[in-house]
Amino acid sequence: MSTNLSLVVSMKYWQDFQDSLARVIDSNIYVFNSNGGLFSKFSKSFEICRQVNKECRLCNEKCLYFYKKIFNSLERKGVFTCPFGIKLYVYRLGTYEQKIGYLIIAPTKKIETESEEERAFLAKAYNVYQTIEEVLKSILEKNLLGFRNLELNSIYEISRLLTSITELDKAMELITNSLVIIYNANLGFIGLREGDKIKIAQSKGELKEDLIGKEWMMSHPIMTKVFSKVEPTFLTTEELTSLDGFSGLEINSKSKAIIYPLWTSVGAVGLLGIVFPSDIMDANGIRNLFIYANFTAVALANAKLVSRLEKEAETDFLTGFFNKRAIRNMLIVELEKSIRYKIPLAVIFLDIDDFKAYNDTFGHLRGDLVLQKVAELIKKSIRAVDIVGRYDGEEFVVLLPGTNKEGAIKVAERIRKSIENYSFPNRKITVSLGVTLAKNGDSVYSLIERADKALYQAKKQGKNRVYFQEL
């Protein structure tokens, strides 16, 4: 028996779900019906695909003939190369008795055959294949037969995939898209705990508008109710609309809302919410969702930990700025942009004048407070697009993309004056600044060296001044 996915699966939300899986394994994913017709669009199309096919839809005759040929010969899975040289991992969805369709996964970068990298990719790809197959089986069972027996299988496969995701954004996107596609939800959302408040970090579904970024205090009566237990909390429409972000949404009075507190061994990491039509979910569905929420809590906690460790690895703990290694990596990227797009890039090298004497006289603790305040004043003096890092000790580097000589000198003077005019404890604090522009043939080393020479001249000429190093 063959199934036409287009008749039983909501394309409106399937594409989002498929795209989130593609981002997890950094691959192009697309699904065919059992008759060989394309069901979904490309998740991440290659340049050659965009050239030979219209937008994200397959229409090239060579491609269509190629896919028809491999589907006829495919047993369960196989590796093929398309007419335009793209390596494809192909999987049959369903069984010979119940044909669902075919899944194509194409890595976005070249992977050597039988390499360790390919084996790692194959493990992820197979996990995605199992996830897609179980989700489709669950949807088909529910929509065609009215049963929910396979729902738990799909939740298990998604949860298994979540444990391998270390990027927080990708994990949240997959979690919310899964809620919408499996449960036909009007809304799925995730709130992450930030101290004494919950901040909505992701939302998907018909009602998602204007919800991301909303904050709810942990002391709010609804939040107190949610986090007073480990079980899910059912909210009335009236209770839901009392939360910031929901008041303007048109929620059907017959809809149900459930919020699951996400608990781990370290405490509450956030919440998972779902709004759905009252006739969609039975007791089994609610129980299955509770299991999913537990997996979600662990996955988000792991992703948050990795995110924090990655941030700490490139952040100066005292000022919160990028550290030396990170700012040099940023400079590599900005220098490449400057050369490629022919836009100016200015660099400011800044040093606190006589800082060693300050530390020796007043102590390192007060010296640290000076560093923190100088960092704050620098941040207030630059644009959001500018990049700043603590380079060494009392030295800072500021990258100014798209800024010419006059603009860079103006920014440097603004920083200098803001520090000179601030009333620091113990004594006056000043800074010297060296400014230069990137030029053709520059490396990170040559650009930093030229800015450092400019700083040296500012010091040599009497400190508390800006010096521009000509190219």
Top-confidence residue, 328 or 293: 328
Q: State the pLDDT confidence band at 310, using cuts at 50, 70 and 90.
A: low
Residue 436: phi and psi, rounded to 5, are: -150, 170
Matching CATH topology for 1-147 and 324-468?
no
Query: Any idea which of 121-130, 143-152, 179-188, 215-224 has the lowest mean pLDDT?
Result: 143-152
Q: Does domain 151-311 have CATH number 3.40.640.10?
A: no
**Which residues have C-beta within 8 Å of that of residue 244, sequence separation ≥ 6?**
214, 215, 216
> What residues does each domain of the chain span?
1-147, 151-311, 324-468
Predicted confidence (pLDDT) per residue in 196-217, tens digit: 899 999 998 876 667 888 999 9
Other CB atoms within 10 Å distance of the CB of residue 15: 19
Predicted confidence (pLDDT) per residue in 232-291, tens digit: 899 888 888 888 888 777 777 778 889 998 887 768 888 998 888 877 777 777 888 888
Q: State the pLDDT confidence band at 434, using cuts at 50, 70 and 90.
A: very high
Give the orientation angle of helix 116-140 with respect to helix 168-183, to 10 degrees. Answer: 30
Give the orientation angle of helix 151-162 with respect to helix 168-183, to 10 degrees. Answer: 170
Q: Is the pLDDT of residue 56 over 70?
A: no
Residue pair 416/424 in contact by the 8 Å Cβ criterion = no
Q: What CA–CA distance (Å, rounded) separates 219 from 225?
A: 9
Q: What rounded mean pLDDT belongs to the chain? A: 86
* CATH number for the domain running over 324-468: 3.30.70.270
CATH number (3.40.50.720, 3.20.20.120, 3.30.450.30, 1.10.150.530) of 1-147 reads 3.30.450.30
User: Residue 179: its pLDDT value, please?
Assistant: 85
Side-chain-side CA neighbours of residue 165 (13 Å): 31
**Which residues have C-beta within 8 Å of that of residue 352, sequence separation ≥ 6?**
358, 370, 371, 374, 394, 429, 430, 431
User: Residue 63: its pLDDT value, please?
Assistant: 83
Q: What is the dihedral of CA 64, 70, 75, 77, to 10 degrees?
A: -90
User: Residue 54: its pLDDT value, please?
Assistant: 65
Name 388's bridge partners: 398
Report DSSP state, residue 75: S
